[in-house]
Amino acid sequence: MNREAVPPPSSSAADGSEGRQRQQQQPPEAPETYEDTHVHAVYEAIAPHFSATRHKPWPLVASFLLSRSPGSVGLDVGCGNGKYLPVNPSVHLLGSDRSASLVRLARAERSGEVIVADGLALPYRPSAVDFAICIAVVHHLSTRTRRQDAIAALLRCLRPGPDARALVYVWALEQGASRRGWDEGSEQDTLVPWVMRSKGAPQATYQRYYHLYRKGELEEDVRAAGGTVLESGYEKDNWWVICSR
């Protein structure tokens, strides 16, 4: 298995930013090292290109943010380029991301506080915020224990009680109607190519690790992390959960 700082560009062509080429991924021996190679280093390499494709808020996430009470304080863990930070100007939303390059882009493009932070070791005071979102992040952790630990870290930041809520989104295994073509019989742990085309430079493909969640699995992970599932559903190839402590 390649352990270079950034996975080498692939010579395979793909259709768009996220191609159809996929590889079955065996469980890593060292999850942190594996994620450094196939998640963190990739996002550092593709950050400007990735950010250029991420501007429109997802409707359910926007609805969740707009429903928060004026003056509420919340977290966007794994905020990327910060596209959700300005959705509801009446709340105070703090952003964090593991990628320093994406954090720099978020600071340049958005107003608000954005810091570099690991979702497994969040630097926020426990029981302090009114809400949190974590969109398309947990599925990049390569073991179930680490995915559950990330959800637990998010929940610890919430005030106790059902009115303090977190919204979590992950990619679904059940994507039979999408161009990716995954379904219930597909491998759940996979490498997904990001194809980067830059003017004057050769095409480069970087492999990102994903755990594709089967139906009901996200709810199981929330409960295992000590949370209470309040709502859940499926939207555009993603499973989502709204939960509390």
Q: What is the mean pLDDT of residues 169-177?
A: 92
21-41 pLDDT, tens digit per residue, is 444 455 556 999 999 999 999
Is 202 a residue whose pLDDT tops 90?
no
- Which of the residue ranges 4-18, 114-128, 131-145, 218-232 would you say has the lowest mean pLDDT? 4-18
Q: What is the mean pLDDT of residues 134-147?
A: 98
How confident is the model at residue 181, as a pLDDT? Answer: 81
Residue whose tokens read 């699995």? 217
Yes or no: say if 189 and 27 are a contact pair by the CB < 8 Å rule. Answer: yes
How confident is the model at residue 111, as a pLDDT? Answer: 73
pTM flag (> 0.75): yes
Backbone angles phi, psi at 48, to 5 degrees: -65, -40
Residue type, 29: E
The CA dihedral of 98, 144, 220, 154, to the nearest 10 degrees, is: -20
Q: In whole angstroms, what is the distance from residue 173 CA to residue 86 CA?
A: 31
| Structural domains of the chain ordered from first start | 31-244 (3.40.50.150)
Q: What is the mean pLDDT of residues 163-190?
A: 91
Distance separating the N- and C-terminal Cα atoms of the chain: 39
Buried b (16+ CB within 10 A) or exposed e, 126-136: eeebbbbbbbb
220 exposure class (CB count in 10 Å sphere: 0-12, 13-18, 19+): middle
Q: In whole angstroms, what is the distance from residue 37 CA to residue 18 CA?
A: 18
51-83 pLDDT, tens digit per residue, is 988 888 999 999 999 999 999 999 999 999 999
